Amino acid sequence: MNMDYLYDILGEDVRDKYLMELIDRLFIYATGSKLDEVFITQSDLYGKLERRSYVNFRYGEYTFISMLNHFGKEYVEALKVVNELNLSIFPKLILVREYKDGSMYIVIKIPGNVGEDIKWGHCLSDINSLPISSRQQAVSDLKKLETAGYLLLPKFRFSVGVTHDGHIMISDIPLVKKEEAQDFLDDIYSSYSMFGWFDDYYHLQHPDQKLRCHK
């Protein structure tokens, strides 16, 4: 484990002893399945580590996700794309650890997810009540993503959440290259409309169509 890297990416959070213990455990065990068992026990006995599922654990802003390599690598690549673009509506990739049983652990940070966990995927009313500036930030990030050649498949809607300080986050990142999405662009833009995707950007491309709002 590269400690210089950890100090750089975690900042002051390296002072959190329990977080560092969790990260240390990633490198102690030879298989991801064994680490799954350890994290389940940690969540059941001590309560500091919140178990969202048997393969998804949360400690404050940090999430530890167990995945099979194939799916995990896709998620990691998507995280790298959005992180390189510095898009604030997506998690930050912290660590990746692969195991000999064909599994991997991915550690991400969801800034602002403190206290009670975000209500993922059931937040349309929360989004509608946000200040316009918060929704504009989401639209701005999605436009930057599109400029880079990528869009989100509509299923992203099931992983949208709002932090307690009013920032939109999308935890799943089903990227598709824009060139490969030409047959269903309308569905994608319609799913973006929950954030206010209804400006001239859309109408310039679809001058004869009325806006189809997300419901």
Q: Any idea what the CATH number is for the domain that residue 10 is in?
A: 3.30.200
**Residue 214 forms part of a structural domain:** no
Pick the closest to residue 63 from 90, 31, 102 (CA basis): 90
Pick the closest to residue 146 from 181, 194, 115, 195 (CA basis): 181
pLDDT given at position 200: 45
pTM of the model: 0.88
Q: Which residues pair with 160 in a beta bridge?
A: 170
Residues 136 and 104 in one domain: no
Residues 99 and 172 in one domain: no
pLDDT given at position 214: 38
Please check the confidence at residue 85 and state whether its pLDDT lies above 50: yes
C-alpha span between 75 and 136 (Å, rounded): 25
Please check the confidence at residue 202 and state whether its pLDDT lies above 80: no
1 — pLDDT class (breaks 50, 70, 90): low
**Residue 92 forms part of a structural domain:** yes
The number of distinct structural domains making up the chain is: 2
Q: In the block, which residue shows the tokens 């975690």?
A: 10
Residues 92 and 14 in one domain: yes
Please check the confidence at residue 185 and state whether its pLDDT lies above 60: yes
In the chain, DSSP assigns E strands to: 50-53, 56-59, 62-68, 92-98, 103-109, 150-152, 160-162, 168-170, 175-177
Residues 22 and 103 in one domain: yes
**Residue 210 forms part of a structural domain:** no
- Backbone dihedral region for residue 112 (phi beyond 0: left; psi -120 to 50: alpha; all else: beta): left
Token pair for residue 198? 């209804």
Q: Which of 1-15, 174-188, 190-204 has the lowest mean pLDDT?
A: 190-204
Residues 105 and 166 in one domain: no
**Residue 134 forms part of a structural domain:** yes
pLDDT given at position 86: 98
pLDDT tens column, 47-75: 899 999 999 999 999 999 999 999 999 99
Residues 8 and 46 in one domain: yes
Q: Residue 88: give the domain boundaries.
A: 3-109
pLDDT given at position 211: 38
172 — pLDDT class (breaks 50, 70, 90): very high
Question: Would you give the end-to-end CA distance of the chain in angstroms?
Answer: 46
pLDDT given at position 199: 56
Cβ atoms of residues 69 and 104 within 8 Å: yes
pLDDT tens column, 12-33: 999 999 999 999 999 999 999 9
